[in-house]
A and B are shown apart, each in its own frame.
Chain A
Amino acid sequence: MSNLETLQKEPRSGLLKNYKLEFTPYLLLIPGLLWLFTFFILPILNLSTTSTKTRSPSFETGAFDQTWRFLNYVDAFVENQEQFYRSFIYALIATVLALAIAYPLAYAIAFRSGAMKNILLVLVIAPFFTSFLLRTLAWKQILGSEGPVVSLLQNLNIMNSGQTITATSFSVIMGLTYNFLPFMTLPIYASLDRIDPKLLEASGDLFANSLNTFRKVTLPLSMPGVVAGTLLTFIPASGDYINASILGNPNTKMIGNVIDSRFFRVVDYPTAAALSFILMAVILIIVSVYIRRTGTDELV
């Protein structure tokens, strides 16, 4: 111990130590910053310059000239208003449904599962063991005209023989709800699990029955999880295109499908880029209003 102390008191190694302490955090940040710069900042810059280009006079596919045409944004928005509107409605409904399913589920896991807790948590994340795409395709099979659900409903005379479940807005919203459910469940579970059981006892001790304890103690204390969960569901759901393309029809297209087809099928990069930026801006506005409203500023 005393050896160490004398070593530290030596001026040279002391200086070195200070130097190291000051710069270590920055050194640790470098890999992450490099990654972000290469795979986030650069593409965003590229996308933003692309968004104001126009088709080159040569009419060669994929050739665009930078003309700083900001009207691209107005055109892109006006042309695709319907899909924008639909995206946010679908994402909103899916978020509300996911919340309605996830909250009781997270509550049961956090407070009522006993020894089953870890098994149930693994089950919640189990879908991640297979790909998002495969699972959505599986739903197409399950809900398809030859699938078990439709046959059953037809046999029970609930559905007519011509009706389908897939290729409807119902199945798109159901797919969104299903795919983002774990992102809703886990944050809510985490915030419920963190609640000190003594607080619930204290609430009962102070004349609150179980309903009032939930309203006045459990729910407010789980709000950070609810806000995190709704954001983690709403944001990716509003930009999603897999569910609409696999489980939907041409009339259930979301903005993600439009961007997808502009990029890869029509090869209209400027419109696709402008749509991406509009989507980003709208989500940012919605999210910041939402966070302001729910008063969970600590979250961001």
Chain B
Amino acid sequence: MGDEVSKFVQGDLKLVNLTKEFGDFTAVDDLTLTIPKGSFFALLGPSGCGKTTTLRMIAGLEEPTSGTISIGDKNITDLKSYSRPVNTVFQNYALFPHLSIFENVAFGLRRRGIKDVKETVMKALELVELGHLKDRKPAQLSGGQQQRIAVARAIVNRPAVLLLDEPLGALDLKLRRQMQIELKWIQTEVGITFIHVTHDQEEAMTMADTIAVMNNGKIEQLGSPSELYENPKTTFVANFLGQSNFLQGIVESESNGETIVIAHGIRITMPSSRNNGSTASVKIGVRPEKFRIHFVGSELPGNLLIGGVVTDISFVGVSTQYMVEMPWKQEIMVFEQNDGGAPNIKKGDQVSLTWEPQFTFALNGE
């Protein structure tokens, strides 16, 4: 029967120097990562960044080329997938088409030799509010219902770690939003470590406590959603999570925790702690919603860009988006809340942009 399932393994999930090569291609490159027990962790990145390979190695569906995987003190690197205290919610759910919903959820329990599964299975089905569908076959369920059954089938086993492989990718936008909230609630309810793989930055930010942004098999940056958004450490992260405006500049001085950068002849002040660049040449980043747009002469204090001309305005409900062309021909994107605070600006108007220094971040220049 092979190894007995490590039922009582608990603790943080640790990946140490984990590498996976497919021929010449390195999918996961020397990854070291600790995921605290009970956290909702997201692996975020574009397709081909190695996030799914990482997940599959944790599940035991892919063998690492080198490195170790452990949960608490137990090294699980060499355990077969059926011996790991890890369960997966697959991308297209992978429900067993020949089994009823009840038997799908009972599958893991039965394989572990548990005889009396009824109560446990029904509890899991109640958790996803689909107890009444227990006698149906998967094909008779909608996509959203199948998704919940896939979650129930995994968490009923109380794994130490639950892996979610793009679980919401096949759902429509409205259902996806609803499931994001539900999954988050379920995670809080059961307290299992969730590792969620996604390429959808909004999904990752909504659900996860901690996000690791992956690119080319490596982690670009790890942190809470707000840390990653407000203070990205690389251009990749700044662009992958939301939108950014960049200004090329040179660090002029640094004192008392304040850095002065000159960009296109303009003095920009920012907290030194937010300068993630290591060279004198830096790229100043400002998120579009941090700007305030003004008619010339009525600017607020703070950093100031003058001489802009509005080239485009689009109204998107909660906000209005302005494209402002600067004297050096760069277009800056500005979002203003539609709360009556912004002046009545029209296309072709001369405007100035201001923002508070604390919202500036800087990266290595080009």
Contact = CB atoms under 8 A, between A and B. Distances in A.
Contacts of A220: 98
User: Which secondary structure dominates where chain A touches chain B?
Assistant: helix
A221 B59 CA distance: 24
Interface stretch (B63-71, B79-87, B266-274): B79-87
Nearest to A197: B94
Contacts of A207: 5, 82-83, 108, 111-112, 157
B231 to A, nearest CB: 37
Interface in A189-240: 196, 198-199, 201-209, 212, 216-217, 220-221
Contacts of A198: 90-92, 94
Nearest to B98: A220
Contact of A202 (B5, B86, B90): B90
Q: Which among B83, B92, B98 has the highest number of chain A CB atoms within 10 Å?
A: B98
Given A212-B111, A216-B107, A205 B96 contact: no
A288 B108 CA distance: 35
A208 B96 CA distance: 13
B97 interface: yes
B12 to A, nearest CB: 21
B94 A196 contact: yes
Nearest to B87: A205
Contacts of A202: 88, 90, 94-96
Contacts of A216: 107, 111
Given A198-B92, A201-B90, A217-B96, A206 B61 contact: no
A108 to B, nearest CB: 22
Interface in B82-128: 82-83, 86-88, 90-92, 94-98, 107-108, 111-112
B60 interface: yes
A18 B204 CA distance: 52
A212 B110 CA distance: 11
A207 B5 CA distance: 7
B1 interface: yes
Contact of B59 (A196, A205, A209, A212): A205
B2 A209 contact: yes
A205 B82 contact: yes
Given A198-B92, A198-B94, A205 B111 contact: no
Contacts of A205: 59-61, 81-82, 86-88
B8 to A, nearest CB: 14
B196 interface: no
A221 B97 CA distance: 8
Nearest to B153: A206
B162 to A, nearest CB: 11
A199 B99 CA distance: 12
B108 to A, nearest CB: 4
Contact of B81 (A199, A201, A221): A201
A204 B59 CA distance: 10
Nearest to B111: A207
A295 to B, nearest CB: 10
A221 B61 CA distance: 21
A206 B2 contact: no
Contacts of B87: 205-206
B178 to A, nearest CB: 24
B96 A204 contact: no
A216 B108 CA distance: 11
Contacts of B80: 204, 209
Q: Which among A196, A205, A221 has the highest number of chain B CB atoms within 10 Å?
A: A205
A212 to B, nearest CB: 6
A204 B94 contact: no
A203 B61 CA distance: 11
B94 A221 contact: no
A212 B83 CA distance: 13
Contacts of A208: 82, 107, 111
Contacts of A203: 96, 107
A90 B60 CA distance: 47
Nearest to A201: B61
B309 to A, nearest CB: 41
A206 B111 contact: yes
Contacts of B90: 198, 201-202
A216 B86 CA distance: 20
A209 B96 contact: no
B97 A206 contact: no
Contacts of B86: 205
Interface string A100-133: 0000000000000000000000000000000000
A217 B81 CA distance: 16
A148 B112 CA distance: 53
Interface in B155-170: 157
Nearest to A200: B94
A201 B5 CA distance: 16
B116 to A, nearest CB: 17
Interface of B: 1-2, 5, 59-61, 80-83, 86-88, 90-92, 94-98, 107-108, 111-112, 153, 157
Q: Which 7 A-B pairs have the closest CB atoms?
A: A206-B108, A202-B94, A207-B111, A198-B94, A204-B81, A208-B111, A220-B98
20 contacts: A196-B94, A201-B61, A201-B90, A201-B94, A202-B90, A202-B95, A204-B61, A205-B60, A205-B86, A205-B87, A206-B107, A206-B111, A206-B157, A207-B108, A207-B111, A207-B112, A208-B107, A209-B2, A209-B82, A220-B98
Given A203-B107, A204-B81, A205-B81, 4 more contacts: A201-B94, A204-B60, A204-B80, A209-B82
